[in-house]
Chain A
Amino acid sequence: MSVAFGMHLLALAALGSAVSNGSLPPTPQGDHATSTHDLASELDTFVTLLGRWRHGAEDVRTQLGACANRLAQNHARHDVPAVAAFYLDLDPDARIQGVQDELRFFELHAQVVQAGWTGRLDDADWPTMRAELLQELETLVDEVTPRADFSSAARGHALIAHLAVVRAQRDSGLGLAAQQAEFERARTHARVAIEMFERAGQRTPQLEPRWVLAEADALCGQRRRAAKGFRDVVERARNARQIAYVEAGLVGLIVLAREAGDPTGIDRLLRELADEVEPAQSWALTREQSLTWFHADRPDAALDLLESFPPIAVGHLAEWETLVCAARLRSGDVEGARAVLQHREPGDDEDTALAAANLASHENRIDDVLVLLEDWRSFSDVGRMQALSTIGAQLLRHDRAQEAGEALEQALEAARAHESAVRSDPNAQGSVFGEWLGVQSLVHLARARARTGDALGAAAALEAGSARTLRSGLEPTAQDIAAWAANAGAGTLHVAVGADDGIVIHVDPSGDALAIDLPHGRRVMARAIERLRQALQSGDRERAKSLARECSDTLIPAPIAERLLQAPEEARLLLLLHGVLEALPVATLTVNDHELDGRWTPHVLPGLPAARPGDAMVSNAMRWTLLGAPVNTNRSSDGDVWPELPGAARELAHLARQYPDAVVRTGTAFTRASLLEALRDGHALHVATHLVTDVRCGGGALAPVGLLVSDGAVLCAEDVLAEAAPKALVVLAACATGDGTLLDAEGLFGLGRAFLTSGTRNLVVTLWPVDDGAAQHFSLALHRALDRGASPAVAARIGRAAVREAGWGDADAAAFRAVGRD
């Protein structure tokens, strides 16, 4: 869904609210509404006095200066004295000339604002109107620049810059060179405007050209610089109490986050925006929040919001209609969706074409879909992805699997191109494949390949699009998949679900693959998994058993079950669980009345970390670092008091005896520094402590969690990402170390993922909070098995069995999981 095209409308609307009442300084109308009574009253006084001064009233000089000083001293408006000084320095003629120039500017400005609000920017006559406006603006600038009161020239430059960036973005008739020229023009005029406003002592009017610079950077793919620029606009606007530009800056950041497929960033920014404005006042907030609901598979919530808060500006209506159409369609209201599009022509714009094609696809009208989207090559990056995905899905539905595969391959190619552009920003944390292409498209591609007889290629397609950040975008081939399957005695099981449905593919050790469709979409699957987890954690054994059986029957259908049963007893089975499936407690699954955990040795990965499994590095000769059992766990940062862990202390003491040459840091020696040192060394690592949520943690997509050390300090997941050297094995005997924030097509981003991303080969983690005693029991059994030469997956299976035998139920046993290659 193209979203960026409404930005200029928002900015123009912001411009509208930034228009002053004609008297200087350029304090926008919205300012007073957000001020205290005293500040508002003082500003009124200042504006009145300044207006009189500029109109020739000499007697207000002293009062004007005093008022400016009061605003600075009492209300932190330190910009006001500089504004006053500029105008106080002008002689009466200059002042009166300045007023006339300003009125001339605002006449031109009003025409632009009106065009934006009334949606005329897409009219056929707009280019002519724009050219005339630009001509007049440039004349104004040329005339006013040499004058003593040159502030209107600065405004002229700012508006020229604004029009240039809007043209560069919206005018599809511009060639690449012409577009670049417009961007350069925008930057030049914006910089001149900023410099002139600085000389005039005026800070608030700088918001517009600064926003233009950030927007130009964003549109040119300079995302990092754009993010910095938008954030600068937000902070300046907050200081100047210019809500319209706070909104504009935050929306710029949200659009960047959305383009990068960063739902965590989007959520954070939306909350920040919601703190400033309400949906009734801000179409941008309504739009962005509804898009977030879409991505979360909640079209009903999106529709509710859209229908409750339609936009005020006419220029936003087209975008609103497109979103309402999509929401109704996803909610099953086909007639309602059709009604919205009735008065629009698919040829009007890309969004209308895509919306009409979605409707046609929903009604299985393949010919209409192909016609509506025949110009997909001229679409934006995101538009191309969506068009090709829709075409591919429709072809697949009509049993044209070969063509579907080709269309979907091209969608994948568009996603790769977009991802490259986004990944040039090292701060980018999102998933283009997850948030833009969509896992459903990956599922469709896999299905298309499977239907053309290439189930192994189907698995490769799934893996190529999943967890790409684990291997820096490297895409495994079919041969690579076969190598992974050969490395595990029972092969590999690849499972993914999109918005509507999913696919499961088993590849046996010989490389033979079988793909079967899954009937449920992401939301239904996530709910089933959550129900199972809740039943397990609450100790409701019967309920958990029943739910696990249902999940097993769905995710491991009979034909795949039969293949699995051919594998030897206790053979390793690598489960590649994508998206919401990563949270599934596989240790509770059954296959034809066999417990998966026992008949086989399951281990899990959210995606392939490399093209090939490589050689196992875990051995009973590994050197260990053992840390944990924190003391003095009062946390002043949030007041929590975490209990000491006697089980962890016993566990580490026992392991220290088992590994005489281990580095051991427990109790007061278990500090942030000692944990960092352990991350950096090449040893295997065992940590037994609490996992806590901490507001100081949370970088990018990673969940705000960390390991609690003694004296209440925390080592965050992002510290692990930054500092951890690759390790053969890390045992994270703390709560929910395998959990995290879900990034679709990437997986759960938490502590475990931080280790995986930093190159650790194998992990033992937990899916939810575990009993201290159970964790002790598990850990000792795990290490006994490792000492006997077992692989991490086998050792974890033995550990889980030991926990069950000792009397703890699956509330604890099923929480432990082996993640990795061995």
Chain B
Amino acid sequence: MSPLDPDPRHGAHRRTGDFSHPLAPVFQRPTESTLPMHPRDPQDPQQASVPPPGPLADASLVERLARWDELPPWDLEALASNPATGSKLARVRDAEAELTGGVDALESCPPSEDLFDLAGGPGGPVLTPHRTLELRAHLELCPSCAGFVGSLERTPPPPFLLDEEAPRAPKRPLRLVARNVGRWIPMAAAALVLIGVVWQLGGGPVSAAWPQQPVLRGAAETDLLFPRGPVLTAANGLDWAASPRFEVTAVEGADQYRLRVRTTDGSAFGDGETVLESTNTEPIFLATNEFGPGHYTWEAWATVGGLERPLGEREFRVVDNEDLRLELRAAFGLRRVQLLHDAGHVTDARRAARGLPASPQRDAYLGRAPQR
């Protein structure tokens, strides 16, 4: 269920405008003053039997939700039964269940903080390329860690829908009071749950959907699939430019493929210098060298019956795009794919899609050949 589905019980939650529009207003950070508190009128005869307040009685709603497991039962029940807070509490609990479900640590697994940084969580330090490669290699072998990183990229349901006014995104990530984490969940990851749901930079909460292909009157036959067009510079180990992947159409009868990548000056007529050459028996090449900003041309050949058959040439360019980066900082999971795809960074969008859990929709997206 979309966190933006208007709850008929809460007129205050309903927004004006198009909820799904990427430029929908962002949430304002919820404050106490906008939310009803638990009624505490000692004169109310119906509250005579209200138990005494717990240790978080004076805490803000945000803090109480974040530390829901420390609340006394009656407080928890009050939150749950209160129309204004019940759904939010439910969502926090769901989010925590998502994070904790099915995650088993391995003895050799890296610290969770490192995995969080690899996922590009806001506020975390940028990993060194060496450490990034180490962690990526571990993810290839450890489904648990891979699942965990993937879960960090999924958009958990936001617990806060405050009022009709669009809250502005905070300038810095929220830091919550540490809670008792008896389980293997890093604090930063828990913070991310709440950060991700209250902090929507530039896009607002949207119903993320897999990018659709336009309806064309035919399709181009192309053997060089990806990369193509603009590609973001490597900011972390998950970007295409940090872990380049070249994909060509499989050729019947081919027993070898050859790849050559040249860096060019970006002119129409320039030839360029070779920066990478490789052969493989499969139509996919994984390069280990990072591609920096610039223009590139790549070519591929398939060897069939001892003869090389050219598959063509294709351009791509590695670019810095600060605006897009800013949008991406708070976009996770499918939303990230959508943003990249809509910005024309289809190669990066595919890279992001590959990091998501397998699903028919994901597989359909990754299985689509470019139409032009």
Residue of A nearest to B253 (CB): A275
Partner of B307, one of A289, A532, A550, A688: A289
User: Of residues 171 to 198 in B, which have CB atoms within 8 Å of A's CB atoms?
Assistant: none
Is the CB of A775 closer than 8 A to any CB of chain B? yes
A769 touches B372 (CB 8 A): yes
* CB nearest to B214 among chain A residues: A771
A540-B218 contact given A271-B304, A278-B306, A285-B307, CB 8 Å threshold: no
| B209 within 8 Å of A (CB atoms) | no
Q: Which of B73-81, B152-160, B309-317 contacts A (4 or more CB under 8 A)?
A: B309-317
A258-276 contact mask (Cβ, 8 Å, vs B): 1 or 0: 0000000000001100110
Contact of A534 with B216 in the complex, beta carbons under 8 Å: no
- Do B307 and A735 touch across chains, with their CB atoms under 8 A apart? no
Task: Assess whether B228 is interfacial by the CB under 8 Å rule.
Answer: yes
B218 pairs with A274, CB closer than 8 A: no
Interface pair A645/B217, CB less than 8 Å apart: yes
A766 to B315 Cα, complex, angstroms: 22
A676 contacts the other chain (CB 8 A): no
How far in angstroms is the closest Cβ of chain A from B288?
Answer: 26
* B221 interface residue (CB < 8 Å to A): yes
CA distance A528 to B269 in the complex (A): 5
A272 closest partner in B (C-beta): B305
CB pair B308 A648 closer than 8 Å: no
B106 is an interface residue with CB less than 8 A from chain A: no
A769 touching B218, Cβ below 8 Å? yes
Chain B residues positioned under 8 Å from A699 (CB to CB): none
Asked whether B364 is an interface residue with its Cβ less than 8 Å from the other chain, the reply is: no
- Beta-carbon contact of A735 and B219 below 8 Å: yes
Which A residues are CB-close (under 8 A) to B253? 275
A647 interface residue per 8 A CB criterion:
yes
Cα(A270)–Cα(B230), bound, Å: 37
- Give the chain A neighbours of B268 by CB distance below 8 A: 528, 531-532, 547, 550-551, 554
Q: Which residues of A contact B218 (CB under 8 A)?
A: 690-692, 734-736, 769
A104 close to chain B: CB less than 8 A: no
Chain B hits for A305, CB < 8 A? 307-308
For A, the interface residue count at a CB cutoff of 8 angstroms equals: 56
Determine if A527 and B219 form an interchain contact, defined as CB atoms under 8 angstroms apart: no
Bound-complex Cα distance A733 to B305 (A): 39
| B371 → chain A closest CB, angstroms | 6
Task: Tell me, rounded to whole Å, the shortest Cβ–Cβ distance linking A361 to chain B.
Answer: 24
Least distance between A497 CB and chain B CB atoms (Å)? 12
Interface residues of A in 756-787 (CB under 8 A from B): 766, 768-773, 775
B143 proximal to A (CB < 8 A): no
Q: Do B269 and A648 have beta carbons less than 8 Å apart?
A: no
B358: chain A residues within 8 A (beta carbon): none
- How many residues of B are counted as interface, with CB atoms below 8 angstroms from the partner's CB atoms? 31
A524 contacts B by Cβ under 8 Å: yes
Q: With an 8 A cutoff between CB atoms, is B54 at the interface?
A: no
Please name the residue on chain A nearest to B346 by beta carbon: A538
Q: Are B313 and A527 in contact (CB under 8 A)?
A: yes
- The residue that A735 contacts in the complex, of B216, B229, B313, with Cβ under 8 A, is B216
Is A151 an interface position by the 8 A CB rule? Answer: no
Q: Is the CB of B313 within 8 A of A530?
A: yes
Q: Complex: how many Å from CA A537 to CA B372?
A: 6
B141 interface residue per 8 A CB criterion = no
The minimal Cβ–Cβ distance linking B341 to chain A, given in whole angstroms, is 11
Name the CB-closest residue of B to A304.
Answer: B308
Given contact pairs A547-B268, A550-B267, A775 touches B217 in the complex (Cβ within 8 A)? yes
Q: Roughly how many angstroms separate A646 CA and B317 CA in the complex, as a whole number? A: 35
Contact B216 A770 (CB under 8 A): yes
B344 contacts the other chain (CB 8 A): yes
Do B229 and A538 touch (CB < 8 A)?
Answer: yes
Bound CA span A525–B308, Å: 23
B residues less than 8 Å from A547 (CB atoms): 268
Query: In the complex the two chains form, is B306's CB within 8 Å of A279's CB?
Result: yes
B48 at interface (Cβ–Cβ under 8 A)?
no
In the bound complex, do residue B219 and residue A274 qualify as a contact, i.e. CB atoms below 8 Å apart?
A: no
Q: Which residue of A lies closest to B218 (CB)?
A: A735
**A540–B229 contact, CB under 8 A?**
yes
Instruction: Report if B97 contacts A (CB, 8 A).
Output: no
State whether the Cβ of B1 lies closer than 8 Å to any Cβ in chain A.
Answer: no
Looking at the complex, which one of A278, A540, A772 makes contact with B217 (CB distance below 8 Å)?
A772
Inter-subunit contact A550/B315 (CB<8 Å)? no
Q: Is A505 part of the binding interface, using a Cβ–Cβ cutoff of 8 Å?
A: no
Is B220 part of the contact surface with A, judged by Cβ < 8 Å?
yes
Q: Which residue of A lies closest to B264 (CB)?
A: A531
- Min CB gap B229→A, angstroms: 4
Which residues on the A side are within 8 Å of B314 (C-beta)? Answer: 534
Contact indicator A735/B217 (Cβ below 8 Å): yes
The reply to whether B269 and A520 contact each other, CB–CB distance below 8 Å, is: yes
How far apart are B319's CB and chain A's nearest CB, in angstroms? Answer: 10
Structural contact, B220 and A524, CB atoms closer than 8 A: no
From A708, which residue of chain B is reached at the shortest CB distance?
B218
Query: In the bound complex, how far is the Cα of B220 from the Cα of A537, in angstroms?
Result: 10
Instruction: Determine the chain B residues whose CB is within 8 A of the CB of A120 once the complex forms.
Output: none
Kindly state whether residue A332 has any CB partner on chain B within 8 Å: no
How far is A772 from B372 in the complex, measured between Cα atoms in Å? 13
- Tell me whether B137 is interfacial, beta carbon within 8 Å: no
A535 within 8 A of B: yes
Whether B220 lies near A280 (C-beta < 8 A) is no
> Known contacts A275-B305, A539-B344; is A772 also within 8 Å of B215 by CB?
yes
B269 CB contacts on chain A under 8 angstroms: 520, 524-525, 527-528, 550, 554
Which residue of A has the minimal Cβ distance to B306?
A278
CA distance A305 to B309 in the complex (A): 12
> Which residues from chain A contact B221 at a C-beta distance below 8 Å?
693
Considering the chains assembled together, what is the distance between the CA atoms of A436 and B316 in angstroms? 36
Determine if A689 is an interface residue (Cβ-Cβ < 8 Å).
yes
Query: What residues on B are CB-neighbors of A775 within 8 Å?
Result: 217
Which chain A residues (573-627) contact chain B, with CB distance < 8 Å? none
A contact residues around B313 at 8 Å (CB): 527, 530
Q: Which residues of A contact B214 (CB under 8 A)?
A: 771-773
Most buried by A among B220, B230, B266, B314: B220
Q: Among A534, A554, A648, A775, which residue has the most Cβ atoms of chain B within 10 A?
A: A534
Complex Cα–Cα for A643 and B268 (A): 35
Interface presence of A301 (CB below 8 A): yes
Interface residues of B in 98-130 (CB under 8 A from A): none
Question: What chain A residues lie within 8 Å of B266 (beta carbons)?
Answer: 546
Query: Is the C-beta of A377 less than 8 angstroms from some C-beta in chain B?
Result: no
Q: How far apart are the CA atoms of A270 and B306 in the complex, in Å?
A: 12
Are A647 and B344 CB-contacts (below 8 A) given A274-B306, A531-B315, A769-B372?
no
Any B CB within 8 A of the CB of A696: no
Q: If A274-B304, A285-B307, A551-B268 touch, does A769 touch B315 (CB 8 Å cutoff)?
A: no
Interface residues of B in 42-78 (CB under 8 A from A): none
CA distance A604 to B70 in the complex (A): 77
CB-CB nearest in chain B for A289 = B307
Q: Hey, which chain A residues are within 8 Å of B371, CB to CB? A: 769
Cα separation A298 to B308 with both chains bound (whole Å): 12
In the complex, which residues of chain A have a beta carbon less than 8 angstroms from the beta carbon of B271? 524
Q: Complex: how many Å from CA A132 to CA B217?
A: 70
How distant is the Cα of A771 from the Cα of B314 in the complex, in angstroms? 22
* Closest beta carbon of chain A to B250's beta carbon, Å: 15
With a cutoff of 8 Å between Cβ atoms, the chain A residues found around residue B308 in the complex are 301, 305
Give the residues in chain A near B217, CB-CB below 8 Å. Answer: 645, 648, 688-691, 733-735, 766, 769-770, 772, 775
**Cβ of A735 and Cβ of B220 under 8 Å apart?**
yes
By beta carbon, the residue of chain A nearest B230 is A540
- Give 9 closest A-B pairs by Cβ, nearest first: A735-B218, A274-B305, A528-B268, A550-B268, A278-B306, A538-B229, A691-B218, A772-B215, A769-B372
11 contacts between A and B (CB under 8 A): A305-B307, A538-B229, A539-B344, A546-B266, A547-B268, A550-B268, A554-B268, A648-B217, A690-B218, A735-B216, A768-B220
Interface residues of B (CB under 8 A from A): 214-221, 228-230, 253, 266-269, 271, 304-308, 310, 313-315, 317, 344, 346, 371-372
- Beyond the given A538-B346, A734-B217, please list 13 additional residue pairs across the A-B interface where CB-CB is below 8 A: A279-B306, A531-B315, A534-B314, A534-B315, A537-B220, A547-B268, A646-B215, A689-B217, A735-B217, A735-B218, A735-B220, A772-B216, A811-B372
